[in-house]
Amino acid sequence: MDSTKEKEKELGEVELELDERLRLARTERYACQSIVREVFPSERVAICLRNRIKVFNEYDGIKVWRHKKTSKAFYSGLMVCGSVWLCPVCAAKISERRRRELQQAFEQHKKDGGQIALLTLTFSHKRFDALKDILNLFSKATEKFMSGRAFQNIRAEMGLIGRVRALEVTYSDANGFHPHAHIALFYTNKVNLNDIEEQMYVLWKKACSKVGLTIDRKHGISLEKGEKADDYIAKHGKWGIDHELTKAHIKKAKFKSLTPFDFLRNYLATEDKRYLILFKEYAECFKGKRQLQWSQGLKQKFVMEEKNDEQLAKEQTEQADLLGLIDYWIWKDILKQNKRSYFLDLCETKSFEEALENIAEYKKQRIKKAKSLCEELDRKSNIK
């Protein structure tokens, strides 16, 4: 009995720790979004989860919900930007939806007897290479690599039915921006992937050479069976191909590399504006690009509905209980106090009513402090 109670206690502590980590991650996302708002004040990210939705000249109410399964609180009735590249809040939701789509396709393809391989393409670059320039060359090289009779022969040999390409970029002080692509290959024939990789290397080297890029055999290309790639990717945690293709740009990078959202995290920690300059360069280059690109007809094969990023960001598929409706003037106070994330924290750990009281009390104390300061200034003025 004591053993059972001890296990229940340990489980409860683990759940509490996980809840706290999730809340801290949400706080970080909202804080990073606020930074992006300062960098890009005219972009939609500047009003994301701030401005109310307007329908037929009427504003939607701002509601707070509690997810029935996870007990996480969230807002509705607010505009979202749907930017997977610029917005840390939307990116978290969109990438999770995309991951589920990809996981569904993987599972169905394997169930049908198919196989998955992970192809990674990269190239040599220097610290001061402009991201815009090398990204453009990389795109041209990728297009050349996948066109022509030689690649079509590889397709036929593998029984390749389609692919999903994920574009990613990291950064290091030593080597600058590092664009690369992870491509999930859906194939049906039994082949030796080492032999296929050698054939692809020749094509990739030739394609890069044509646009002025260089590669080496060790780092330019890799082709791994899905299970092997999963094991490699997950060696530092629970992370598979589906995560690598959809969430790579929002994760915290390891070693000395930085992901784009690491720029924002580092700015929060250091206030070094160099990170804002790097983020701006990245954002201007990636804006409008598709994070995931499915080859024609592949989604239809797995009976998937085509949805853009903004649709996924707006989508509410979770079963949830309504906690309450926030008055617009209270919402303005929440924004002014920069407490969007904290308000959700209070709804989860306390109650919706106590969260409202906290905002009201904070405003009351702020007014009291301002009044006291004015009185002190008047007193000093009278003394003079």
Q: What is the pLDDT of residues 213-229, one digit of tens each?
A: 999 988 899 999 877 54
User: If you count DSSP H runs as helices and E runs as strands, how many of each does the chain have, helices first?
Assistant: 14, 10
In the prediction, which pLDDT does 376 show?
73
In the prediction, which pLDDT does 236 show?
34
Q: If we measure between CA atoms, which residue out of 82, 81, 78, 89 comes closest to residue 55?
A: 78
**What are phi and psi for residue 185, nearest 5 degrees?**
-105, 125
Cβ proximity of 200 and 150 under 8 Å = no
Collect all residues with Cβ–Cβ distance below 8 Å to 127 and sequence separation of at least 6: 173, 174, 175, 176
Token output for 87? 């917005």
User: Residue 56: helix, strand or coil by DSSP?
Assistant: coil
Cα 286 from chain centroid (whole Å): 13
User: Residue 82: helix, strand or coil by DSSP?
Assistant: coil
In the prediction, which pLDDT does 361 show?
92
Read off the DSSP letter of residue 50: T
Q: What is the pLDDT of residues 238-290, one digit of tens each?
A: 445 666 665 555 566 555 789 999 999 999 999 999 999 999 999 999 988 88
* H or E element in which residue 177 lies: strand 176-187
- If you average pLDDT over residues 174-184, what whole number do you get? 93
**Distance, CA of 201 to CA of 97 (rounded, Å):** 33
In the prediction, which pLDDT does 158 show?
97
**Distance, CA of 267 to CA of 321 (rounded, Å):** 36
**What are phi and psi for residue 348, nearest 5 degrees?**
-80, -45
In the prediction, which pLDDT does 48 show?
97
Q: What is the pLDDT of residues 94-122, one digit of tens each?
A: 988 888 888 888 889 999 999 999 999 99
In the prediction, which pLDDT does 26 show?
94
Half-sphere exposure (Cβ direction) of 344: Cα atoms closer than 13 Å: 26
- If you average pLDDT over residues 165-171, what whole number do you get? 92
Q: What is the Rg, in whole angstroms, of the alpha carbon atoms belonging to the chain?
A: 25
In the prediction, which pLDDT does 328 show?
93
- If you average pLDDT over residues 361-370, what whole number do you get? 82
The residue with tokens 């390891």 is: 254
In the prediction, which pLDDT does 275 show?
97
Token output for 187? 């194939």
Q: Return the minimum-mean-pLDDT range out of 8-22, 138-152, 230-244, 263-277.
A: 230-244
Residue 233 has pLDDT above 60, yes or no: no
In the prediction, which pLDDT does 239 show?
45
Confidence of residue 64 (pLDDT cuts 50, 70, 90): very high
Token output for 224? 């791994």
Give the sheet arrangement for strand 115-121, strand by strand.
Answer: 221-225, 115-121, 176-187, 160-172, 292-294
**Distance, CA of 365 to CA of 357 (rounded, Å):** 12
Q: Return the minimum-mean-pLDDT range out of 164-173, 204-213, 269-278.
A: 164-173
* H or E element in which residue 275 lies: helix 274-286
In the prediction, which pLDDT does 60 show?
80
In the prediction, which pLDDT does 185 show?
95
For CA atoms 306, 100, 290, 181, give the dihedral sign. Answer: negative
**Distance, CA of 59 to CA of 50 (rounded, Å):** 13
Q: Return the minimum-mean-pLDDT range out of 97-111, 124-138, 166-180, 336-350.
A: 97-111
- Give 162's strand partners: 186
In the prediction, which pLDDT does 59 show?
84
Collect all residues with Cβ–Cβ distance below 8 Å to 148 and sequence separation of at least 6: 203
Give the sheet arrangement for strand 320-326, strand by strand.
Answer: 73-76, 62-67, 320-326
Supply the mean pLDDT for the chain. Answer: 87
Q: Render the burial of 178-215: b for 16+ CB within 10 Å, e for the rest.
A: bbbbbbbbbbeeebebeebbeebbebbbebbeebebeb
Highest average pLDDT, of 140-144, 146-150, 291-295, comes from: 140-144
